[in-house]
Structure 1
Amino acid sequence: MKVMTIFGTRPEAIKLAPVIAALEATPGVVSRTCVTAQHRGMLDQVLDLNGIKPDHDLDLMRPAQTLDAITAALLTGIGDVLDKDTPDRVIVQGDTATAMIGALAAYYRRLPVSHVEAGLRSGDIYRPWPEEVNRRIVSTIADQHFAPTTTAAEALYRESIDPATVHVTGNTVIDALLATRDRIAAEPAMTKGLDLLFSRFRQRRIILVTTHRRENFAAMTAVAEAISAIAERRDIAVIFPVHPNPNVAGVMERMLKGRDNIAMIPPQDYPHFVALLNACDFVLTDSGGVQEEAPALGKPVLVMRDTTERPEGVEAGTARLIGTDPQRIVAEANALLDDRARYDAMSRAHNPFGDGEASGRIAAIVAGRSPIDSLR
């Protein structure tokens, strides 16, 4: 069986790297990879870290590209790759344009599709936008749905997806996170440079901030106001890997530059990000993946969104939805800083997103074998 894994962004690469490794270790499977480079530099970091040399690299990233332009380029580019490589199955991950178009291009060729991280739903097609619709489209095409949780599986059942095609595997990001944490412990040089940053903020509680969501671009000024207000406290430090999109970087540079307890740093490679996550007290984010990663390390998550496709974290108590109103963000951050019982309740809550064995389960099912165990 020849299996083509298609991805284009850093989050996809992080979550698919352990799947690709598991496929390569599975007898009877020929693993092929196609990257679209929907994100170029940040994608290459993860490829290098995991020793992935793509069989096809479409290199489609362009400055200020529109959704229309990237969608058209993806459809023709991925279509050409599928015609030349003739795989037996296609694997896509999550909710990106690459995932949606990869599934669509496979469908046009009557190729079966496996969807990693299937079943996430916010219930609002504009939040997150356009990701919510992207993943719904993939679900109508795929014949293997790898749901990270029972909640995700139940969302698929409500959409009349055949239960026999839905497999609760856990989320592969936990596989990647735990493996990377162990590598860092064995090779501390992987995160060189962070010791200087941590020494600068010794004896301060660290808040890690990430924000990049397209639907939050209009709220970036409000988010910056909140970060600035939180940083009035002298017992904390903010570490903020700033997304390079001008809608994010431009606002943050203008409003936060020069604060001695705010470190605005470039986007970090995955080992450095895992080290930051491990070192912080809690996370302020609009990221989907961070909502899964942080609880695995015992870090509370304040989610700067009004909805989430990962309600399991909110239900388990590892995450709180707080929106983008500056006063609410400041109040929630201060509550975690000042109320130890509140902090401990979130920090010690059960992580619902997996046990680090999802990729092996996925590879076994793709190869037509029964996985050794299941999260069901």
Structure 2
Amino acid sequence: MKILVCFGTRPEAIKMAPVCHELKKQGIPYKLCVTGQHREMLDQVLDFFELTPDYDLDLMKHNQGLNELSARILVGMNTVFDSELFDLVLVHGDTTTSSMVALASFHKGIQVGHVEAGLRTYNKKSPFPEELNRQLTGRIADYHFAPTQRAKDNLVKEGVAEKLIIVTGNTVTDALAYAVDKVSNKYESETIASLKKLVDSSKRLILVTGHRRESFGQGFQDFCEALLLIAADPSLQLIYPVHLNPNVQEVVFKMLSKQDNIHLIAPLDYPSFVWLMNQAAVIISDSGGIQEEAPSLSVPVVVTRDTTERFEGIDAGISFLVGTSTKRIVDKTSEILKRLDDFKGIKNPYGDGDAAEKIIAFISQELN
């Protein structure tokens, strides 16, 4: 069986790296294709996980629209499929790369395996465009690697045969374990060294991220206003790696750059971000991946989204859905800071770090 692993963004690369490592460990040949939907951030992850693409479509263009990106992925994948025959394409999650690569594979009669399948908000505008990307990929996929039982239940309700679904846990827990081990064992970089100088050990650290399209405008301004109010407490230090999207940068630097204990820094490479997460008391974020990673580090997450497809963290009491309401962000963060000990030892509901092993075992047994 000829397998193609395909991804385009930094989060996909992080979550698919363990799958690539397991394929190599099991001696199963595969090819790796990256679309380059992200560029610099993607390359950093490839380097850290020691992955070399066989195909690089390099599709990143400044501020390109989703329609243009989608069309270019379809055309680019056509070139890949015309150059080599594949039996199975593995895609991940909810990106434009995932849905368009799945569609291109379907057009060529190639089976699709969907890693991190079955997450749903059932609101096609939130998260946008990820929710619909995930549903489209789910309709096309032949095999569904669901991270949790809830995700499997969603797929079953949508008519997917149970024999085509396997609950694996989330590969992000595999990747995090790899990263924490590597960073803890003499891995050093200039960025981590600078972060060690920046972090004030006498203050509780709040790590912040924010970049989702559905929050742009008033929602993002309210989010920044909440950060200003939280930063009024001198016992806190906020560090915010600011996403490169101009819609994010313009608002963040305008509103937050003059606050002494809010540090706006450039986006971090993956190992540096893992190191910083491990120092945080609280994370305020709209990231899906962080919701899955933070429980392994016993760090609570204030989720600045109106919906989430990751309810397991909510149910476990380590993630808290607040939207972009200034008051709700401030109140929930304040409440969490008063009971940080409650989060120690919470089991990560997204897996035990063996998701990639389960995925490749299924492929080896069922598909060969």
Work out whether residues 175 and 359 of structure 1, in 8 Å CA contact, stay in contact via their aligned partners in 2: yes
What does the per-residue CA deviation read over 1:278-299, in whole Å, with 9 as the maximum and x for residues that have no partner? 0000100000000000011000
In 1, the alpha carbon distance for the partners of 2:360 and 2:119 equals: 21
Aligned amino acid, residue 171 of structure 1: N
Runs of 4+, deviation exceeding 6 Å: none
**What is the aligned partner in structure 2 of residue 208 from structure 1?**
207
**What is the aligned partner in structure 1 of residue 113 from structure 2?**
114
In 1, the alpha carbon distance for the partners of 2:186 and 2:10 equals: 22
Shift of 1:258: 2.4
Please report the RMSD computed on the Cα atoms of aligned residues, expressed in angstroms.
1.2
SS in 2 for 1:193: helix
In 2, the alpha carbon distance for the partners of 1:277 and 1:269 equals: 12
What does the per-residue CA deviation read over 1:61-86, in whole Å, with 9 as the maximum and x for residues that have no partner? 11110111001001111121122121
In 2, the alpha carbon distance for the partners of 1:347 and 1:96 equals: 32
SS in 1 for 2:233: coil
SS in 2 for 1:263: strand
**What is the aligned partner in structure 1 of residue 352 from structure 2?**
355
**What is the aligned partner in structure 1 of residue 231 from structure 2?**
231
In 1, the alpha carbon distance for the partners of 2:62 and 2:158 equals: 37
Aligned amino acid, residue 14 of structure 1: I
In 1, the alpha carbon distance for the partners of 2:346 and 2:266 equals: 31
SS in 1 for 2:277: helix
In 2, the alpha carbon distance for the partners of 1:55 and 1:362 equals: 22
**What is the aligned partner in structure 2 of residue 295 from structure 1?**
295
Q: How many residues align?
A: 364
Shift of 1:366: 1.6
Shift of 1:188: 4.2
Shift of 1:306: 1.1
SS in 1 for 2:353: coil
Work out whether residues 126 and 132 of structure 1, in 8 Å CA contact, stay in contact via their aligned partners in 2: yes
**What is the aligned partner in structure 2 of residue 83 from structure 1?**
82
Shift of 1:369: 5.6
Shift of 1:88: 1.3
Unaligned residue ranges in structure 1 (runs of 5+): 371-376
Is 2:160 the counterpart of 1:166? no
What does the per-residue CA deviation read over 1:152-178, in whole Å, with 9 as the maximum and x for residues that have no partner? 010100101000000000000000001
What does the per-residue CA deviation read over 1:287-320, in whole Å, with 9 as the maximum and x for residues that have no partner? 0000000011000011001110101111111101
Unaligned residue ranges in structure 2 (runs of 5+): none
Is 2:64 the counterpart of 1:50? no
Shift of 1:330: 0.9
Work out whether residues 26 and 364 of structure 1, in 8 Å CA contact, stay in contact via their aligned partners in 2: no
**What is the aligned partner in structure 2 of residue 374 from structure 1?**
none
Shift of 1:192: 2.5
The share of aligned pairs that are identical, in percent, is 46
Shift of 1:344: 3.1
**What is the aligned partner in structure 2 of residue 196 from structure 1?**
197
In 1, the alpha carbon distance for the partners of 2:266 and 2:201 equals: 21
**What is the aligned partner in structure 1 of residue 220 from structure 2?**
220
What does the per-residue CA deviation read over 1:19-53, in whole Å, with 9 as the maximum and x for residues that have no partner? 011112223x2210110000101000001111111
In 1, the alpha carbon distance for the partners of 2:300 and 2:148 equals: 19
Shift of 1:347: 4.2
What does the per-residue CA deviation read over 1:196-252, in whole Å, with 9 as the maximum and x for residues that have no partner? 112xx2210000001111111122111111111110100100010100101111111
- Normalising by structure 2, report the TM-score: 0.97
Work out whether residues 318 and 350 of structure 1, in 8 Å CA contact, stay in contact via their aligned partners in 2: no
